Structure 1
Amino acid sequence: MTPTLPLLHNQVALVTGAGQGIGFAIARLLAQHGASVLLNDLDETLATRAATAIQQAGGTCHPLAGDVSDVAFLQHMVDEAVRQFGSLTIAVANAGITLFGNFFAYQPEALDRVMQVNLRGTFFLAQAAARQMRQQQRGGSLLFMSSVTGHQAHENLAAYGMTKAGIEMLAKSLVVELSPLGITVNAIAPGATATERTLEDATYEQTWARLTPMGRPATVDDIAQAALFLVSPHARHITGQSLVIDGGWSSVSPSPY
């Protein structure tokens, strides 16, 4: 009997902002399903620790620390993925920042930083990855990280929500240019998710369990499983879409405030 190949056999993935949280869960799951993974984080210690954990679990993973708002670094990441693993077939633009702030007091510096990381970083990673995929002539998958705040208003997150709505429009717009190359481009929009950062608030899980129709916030694995599907061969005819993963919260949208 011929052995069954892993779902992502012969695939090479780049995942940004993957030192912990959702990004790490995505990188780990892609590696578990056979992809070779270039794992990025701004924090070199987090990137190295995360890659080591994936390696120790039997996955193939290489860390690379750097700032995704730096366009030159984005190209370097793509080049490094190719140097390490021979190609690039999946790029997950997960890195992003949230800078809360009252609209009347929000500062230009904060807006610029959110735009640089969330929008600029996603746009130019997509560009660099798609150029590489075009050169390879074997298609590929791009996946962007949006948020329910790109769909529903949330207090003190006007700037953040604006970038996430923009990311979803980017996924839709790129269908025109990337579909002829066999490259899919989609976004996922998590709702409340239990991560190392969100759980610093001791009331987070209890609050969002009460507000979420499914009775709990998402786990990072809930988000990672959706990401795995969208970059896998199972989703080869899905492109330009945004998938909300929020346990039903955006259907009713109660505020935590």
Structure 2
Amino acid sequence: MNYQPFIGKTAIITGAGEGIGFAIAQHLMNEGANVVINDINPDAIDKALAKLNDGHHDNVAYGMPGDAGNVEFIRTMVEFADSIEDSNLEMIVPNAGLTEFGDFFEFNPDSFQKVVDLNLRGTFFLCQIGAAKMRDNGSQGNIVLIGSNVGERAYLNLAAYGMSKAAISMLAKQLTLPLGPLGISINCVSPGATLTERTAAEVEDYAGTWAILNPNGRVGTTDDVAHAVSFLLSPQSRHITGQTLLVDGGWTAYGPSPYTAEKIKNANPSSKNTTKNGARKVSIETGK
């Protein structure tokens, strides 16, 4: 019999039309949860729902297309999740995020603001509004933020993104103080190079190119990240809060040798597909 700790519970996962967010939703449904998935792309939501609901009869995936950085939309999404019958809103995963590659000296205010609006404002207010709903309902829930190992180590042309992901990791620490007394745990999972539909499309032989970064010799999969998130949402992790778990194959555990550094430099995606002013803009889910 499958382990199903999430029966009678609802989870909100943003940025879940594909990639890491979709894998998280799939894992939680397999463990009994109802899920509310969000994506900016309605077509991606429709495709994801068809896959998620296939074969499930006792729990349901619901779709909420929209901007996960918009506070009023967040309120609507939380109210909807809370209204699902015979299920309590107890899990929140703010996964939606934006990556803006660009040279530090050329990076413009509009690109910076896009990163802040989704990565920081969206994450902060989904935590605030969702946790307030849990508090009002008397629920003891779990929140798992999605950071990135780029929030732990410098990466060329990702200053704004890296700053936002470092802030998300700090948010997990800060929110232990208001949420701990309510019985709500909050942690952060920070993926490294992860093979998804988008990363595979952006970089030729993504898995082979980026495996050189990791001592274990491979890139991450969406299941690797989803397993970590599922654990931190589960009852087994109740005494873990305020922590950041790196799921990166050991990337952040070492400094590259000169040989490895040269290979990384040659494989650097920021040197390809640049815009006229030298910035490379790629909109992807966090952790890629």
Asked if Structure 1 and Structure 2 have the same fold, meaning a TM-score greater than 0.5 normalized by the shorter chain, the answer is: yes
The answer for the alignment partner of 2:226 in structure 1 is: 224
The whole-number CA distance in structure 1 between the counterparts of 2:174 and 2:69 is 21
Shift of 1:252: 1.9
Checking the alignment, whether the CA contact within 8 Å between 2:179 and 2:185 is kept in structure 1 is yes
Residue 15 of structure 2 corresponds to residue 17 of structure 1: yes
Distance verdict in 2 for CA 1:228–1:103, change over 3 Å: same
Question: TM-score, length-normalised on structure 1?
Answer: 0.96
Unaligned ranges ≥5, structure 2 = 266-288
The answer for the alignment partner of 1:42 in structure 2 is: 40
Distance verdict in 2 for CA 1:4–1:49, change over 3 Å: closer
- Listed one character per residue, the Cα deviations across residues 39-76 of structure 1 (whole Å, up to 9, x for unaligned) are 11110110121112110132520011010110000010
Residue 200 of structure 2 corresponds to residue 202 of structure 1: no
Shift of 1:211: 2.1
Unaligned ranges ≥5, structure 1 = none
The answer for the alignment partner of 2:192 in structure 1 is: 191
CA RMSD of aligned residues (A): 1.3
The whole-number CA distance in structure 1 between the counterparts of 2:114 and 2:36 is 24
- Aligned residue pairs: how many? 255
Q: Which has the higher contact order (CA 8 A, sep 6+)?
A: 2
| Percent identity over paired residues | 44
Distance verdict in 2 for CA 1:105–1:89, change over 3 Å: same
SS of 2:32's partner is coil
**Paired residue for 1:27, among 18, 25, 33?**
25
- Listed one character per residue, the Cα deviations across residues 185-214 of structure 1 (whole Å, up to 9, x for unaligned) are 000000000001111111311112222111
The whole-number CA distance in structure 2 between the counterparts of 1:211 and 1:179 is 36
Distance verdict in 2 for CA 1:162–1:45, change over 3 Å: same
Checking the alignment, whether the CA contact within 8 Å between 1:152 and 1:253 is kept in structure 2 is no
Segment drifting more, 245-254 vs 73-82: 245-254
Segment drifting more, 198-207 vs 232-241: 198-207
Distance verdict in 2 for CA 1:232–1:94, change over 3 Å: same
2:65 maps to amino acid: A
The answer for the alignment partner of 1:251 in structure 2 is: 253
1:54 maps to amino acid: L
1:122-133 superposed matches below 5 A? 122-133=123-134
Shift of 1:7: 1.6
Shift of 1:5: 6.8
Shift of 1:4: 7.9
The answer for the alignment partner of 2:114 in structure 1 is: 113
The whole-number CA distance in structure 2 between the counterparts of 1:94 and 1:5 is 24
- Listed one character per residue, the Cα deviations across residues 215-256 of structure 1 (whole Å, up to 9, x for unaligned) are 100000000000000001010110000000100111124452
SS of 2:153's partner is coil
The answer for the alignment partner of 1:163 in structure 2 is: 164
SS of 1:105's partner is coil
The whole-number CA distance in structure 2 between the counterparts of 1:121 and 1:75 is 11
